[in-house]
Structure 1
Amino acid sequence: MKRLRQFSLALLLCVPCIGGAKDLGVWGDVYPVQEQSMLSFIQGRLKQLEATGEMAQMQHDFKERVIENTLRPPPVEGLLTDTQPHTLWYDPTFTVQGDYADHQGTVFARQGDRINPLSHVGLGQTLYFLDADDPRQVAWMKAQTPPTLRYKVILTNGNIKTATQQLNTRIYFDQAGSLTQQLGIRYIPAVVTQEGDKLRIVSAPMQEGR
């Protein structure tokens, strides 16, 4: 009986709280929960771009950028011209870091050996480095008579297609300056030839101003 009275008292105490509750209404806008998939969003955006013609323009711009970068790669930084010629020598000798053997197991190089590739395989060609945007260097190249039957023209700057038409030969480009850095070339235009077991690099003098 005592427990029943305690329960009744607790219920009476709670009734005013329940009776005093009010409907506060809706605060702010309420929207149904909708989640658009990323694929649907992309497809919708593509349709919009196609309808407005933006897609065709984007494709055209991308194509032009690819062509431009292909025909005119980023120039090699840090190269100079000078009114005086410069000569330097490149020795490709290196130290073998481990033993090397052919497919039959015959060791042809041991760790610590000093090897010069030019003693085994010659360069066999002349290399020309120049900036094709510099008319002086283009004129210099046109006047060259390669001392070897084979030669390569390697640009450090300029338009490959234009240089091909100007020099009437196949054109290469020193991407990221990998060759000029390895050979230690600082001045252009430069011509590289083999003499003995070294490479001789001579930069030609250029008159000041382009």
Structure 2
Amino acid sequence: MSRPRVLLLSLLLLAGAGQAADLGTWGDLYPIREESLLQLITRRLAALQQSGELGQRMQDFQARAVAHSERPAPVPGVGRVATLTTRRFNPAVTLSADIRDNAGRLIAAKGQVFNPLTLVPFRETLYFINADDPDQLAWMKRQVPPTPMVKIILVQGNIPETSQALDTRIYFDQGGALCQRFGLMRVPVRITPAPGGTLLTIDEIPPDTGAH
């Protein structure tokens, strides 16, 4: 069965699902002459296909899927930076389980406060922007990253359009996990390694400023 039919079959099964209870046998039994569930589904699929509704439904579904992949839901509660601020971020966490290497050697024990930057150096620059804001797009084009490796992460906007505008690969903070981790409430933001290598520097930069 083709994938469109499988998807529609699932919808039909869900739509017709209900609860049933065994009430025993009452009176005489007669052969059931009603069409089987499979026959009913086949007949409905044929009718939808003949009317063109099946193809239209699948096109609508595919269009919604593509639209969501290109423009995921914005990260809620993230505004625009108005004042330049700088702060340090400590990525250390209290471990809920032991961390071991491939050979089984203990790297950090459960309950220990562990800073991952002591094990894996951070050598990137992360930019967080709202790509629906023309000022932030223009600001991003003016940036001169202090590290060779750069990631641009959207909190709102169209991924392929932004990738084309900035001529680079674009990421999206779906669900706002990164914003929550770094405590970001406003963008644009630049995150870089701090001197010493165990902390990160988070700069909130108004988009009307020059390159940093």
TM-score (norm 1): 0.77
Q: Alignment partner of 1:40: what SS?
A: helix
Tell me how far apart the structure 2 counterparts of residues 171 and 65 of structure 1 sit (CA, whole Å).
21
Task: Give CA-to-partner distance per residue, 1:38-72, whole Å, 9 cap, x none.
Answer: 21111111111111111111111111111101101
Deviates more, 1:151-160 or 1:88-97: 88-97
Task: Give CA-to-partner distance per residue, 1:101-153, whole Å, 9 cap, x none.
Answer: 44544333234433211122112110000111110110010000111001001
Residue in 2 aligned with 1:204?
205
Residue in 1 aligned with 2:23?
none
Q: Partner amino acid for 1:204?
A: I
Q: Alignment partner of 1:87: what SS?
A: strand
Deviation at 1:206, TM superposition (A): 4.0
Q: Partner amino acid for 2:192?
A: T
Residue in 2 aligned with 1:187?
186
Deviation at 1:99, TM superposition (A): 4.2
Tell me how far apart the structure 2 counterparts of residues 104 and 125 of structure 1 sit (CA, whole Å).
28
1:62 aligns with 2:61: yes
Q: Partner amino acid for 1:190?
A: V
Structure 1's consecutive aligned runs of 4 or more residues displaced over 3 angstroms after TM superposition are 96-106
Deviation at 1:94, TM superposition (A): 1.9
Tell me how far apart the structure 2 counterparts of residues 33 and 96 of structure 1 sit (CA, whole Å).
62
Q: How many percent of aligned residue pairs carry the same amino acid?
A: 41
Q: Alignment partner of 2:46: what SS?
A: helix
Tell me how far apart the structure 2 counterparts of residues 99 and 56 of structure 1 sit (CA, whole Å).
52
1:1-210 map, 5 Å:
34-195=33-194, 196=196, 197-206=198-207
Tell me how far apart the structure 2 counterparts of residues 105 and 206 of structure 1 sit (CA, whole Å).
48
Indicate conservation of the 8 Å contact 2:81/2:188, yes or no.
no
Q: Partner amino acid for 2:49?
A: E
Indicate conservation of the 8 Å contact 2:123/2:149, yes or no.
yes
Per the alignment, do residues 70 and 105 of structure 1 end up closer, same or farther by CA in structure 2, a change over 3 Å counting?
closer
Indicate conservation of the 8 Å contact 1:86/1:187, yes or no.
no
Deviation at 1:84, TM superposition (A): 1.0
Deviates more, 1:56-65 or 1:97-106: 97-106
Which structure has the larger Rg over C-alpha atoms? 1
Deviation at 1:97, TM superposition (A): 3.8
User: Which consecutive residues of structure 1, in runs of 5 or more, have no partner in the other structure?
Assistant: 1-31
Deviates more, 1:118-127 or 1:72-81: 118-127
Q: Alignment partner of 2:79: what SS?
A: coil
Indicate conservation of the 8 Å contact 1:84/1:206, yes or no.
no
Indicate conservation of the 8 Å contact 1:90/1:199, yes or no.
yes
Q: Alignment partner of 2:88: what SS?
A: strand
Q: Tell me the C-alpha RMSD between the 2 structures.
A: 1.9
Q: Partner amino acid for 1:122?
A: P
